[in-house]
Amino acid sequence: MRHIFSETWSGLRRHISMVVAVVVTAFVSLTLFGAGLLVYQYADALKGNWYDRVEISVFLCTEATLGDNCTPGAGVTDAERSLIEETLTTNPEVASVEFETKEEAYREFQEAFEGSPIQDSLTVEQMQESFRVKLVDPQQFEGVVSSVAGLPGVQAVQDMREILRPLINALQAAQVAALVTSGLLLLAAALQIGNTIRMAAVARRREIGIMRLVGASYAYIMAPFLLESLIAGVLGVVLACGTIAGLVAWLTQNPQLSIQAGGWIGWQEAGIAMAGVAAVGIVLSIVPTLIATRRYLRV
């Protein structure tokens, strides 16, 4: 073992510039790969929480809201609420109607921003009552919107699919771009690792020949090269995971971004991304080394 560690340290010192290049390339590519995993999880969570669950939301007036159908300083009345509900439930294009109270909206807000500084920024009275409407055919929403948009007590009618679709598409495009870019950089890192191992093997060809002549096993000769690439890969993984953790910490502590994003992903998603980065980083270190050593350590 002493010889293996000695050879590893010697190899790192001889090719320090190549090792640094491998670490930097692995760091950048793994960071982009982890960012792609975060974007994928965010898009999936956003779609699961809103896009697939709600087609149309009918928000009712409160004392603080403004709108053509709202009486200034007064919220929706019981009669207006009943008329709105009857209009929705009797519409043949409506599959189901769910009424959400202020208390339920507040609980949902608390769950969405749990642990965030803005969690306690609103009270129950500041929330809006709403009707959540599922359609028989989600593509045919214009008739339902027009039937309730002008009713007294209706502050706004939103088709959540139309609102979220551009964001979902943008996130998916960003995900593909990040994964493609990181894939190219991962390939570059793999080639750099293989090239570094090849140069190290050529520089030590005399020592390798002597070890083979005295009966040293292939695994014994390969071990120093494998440790060198693992050290470079682990450094890249640590730097990438640290960057991802810093990014998530910054986002979770930024209330304005959390509101605009509709609730950001948390540490559980960050942990999944970092686990993926670690796994890919280890594979990235081992596979090119095994290929290079199999080809260039034959004497």
Sheet holding 94-100, edge to edge: 94-100, 130-135, 56-60, 154-159
Q: What percent of the chain is helix, strand and coil (3-state, nearest 5)?
A: 70, 10, 20
Percent share of the chain, pLDDT over 90? 12
Q: What is the pLDDT of residues 180-224, one digit of tens each?
A: 877 787 787 788 777 777 776 676 666 666 666 666 666 666 677
Give dist(CA 275, CA 286) in Å, integer: 17
Please, which residues have CB within 8 angstroms of residue 79's CB and are 6 or more apart in sequence? none
pLDDT tops 80 at residue 172: no
Give dist(CA 107, CA 157) in Å, integer: 21
Q: Which two tokens stand for residue 285?
A: 């270190």
Give dist(CA 148, CA 195) in Å, integer: 67
Q: Which two tokens stand for residue 104?
A: 């339920």
pTM of the model: 0.56
What angle, rounded to 10 degrees, do the helices at 160-203 and 267-296 form?
Answer: 30
Cα–Cα nearest to 182, from 27, 72, 9 = 27
Report the length, in residues, of the chain.
299
Give dist(CA 73, CA 119) in Å, integer: 26
What is the 3-class SS of 26-85, one letter each residue?
HHHHHHHHHHHHHHHHHHHHHHHHHHCCCCEEEEECCCCCCCCCCCCCCCCCHHHHHHHH
The region of weakest confidence among 73-77, 115-119, 279-283 is 115-119
Fold of 54-160: Alpha-Beta Plaits (3.30.70)
Q: What is the pLDDT of residues 20-51, one digit of tens each?
A: 777 888 888 888 888 888 877 777 776 666 65
Residue owning tokens 């509101």: 259
Give the single-character DSSP code of 127. Answer: S
Q: What is the pLDDT of residues 228-263, one digit of tens each?
A: 778 888 888 999 999 999 888 887 776 555 444 445
What DSSP string describes 192-256?
A: HHHHHHHHHHHHTHHHHHHHHHTT--HHHHHHHHHHHHHHHHHHHHHHHHHHHHHHHHHHHT-HH
245 versus 288: which is more confidently predicted?
245
Confidence band, pLDDT 50/70/90 cuts, at residue 86: very high
Every domain range in the chain assigned CATH 3.30.70.3040: 54-160
Cα–Cα nearest to 195, from 74, 44, 296, 102 = 296
Q: Which two tokens stand for residue 293?
A: 């050593």
Residue owning tokens 């207006």: 80
Cα–Cα nearest to 247, from 257, 236, 235, 233 = 257
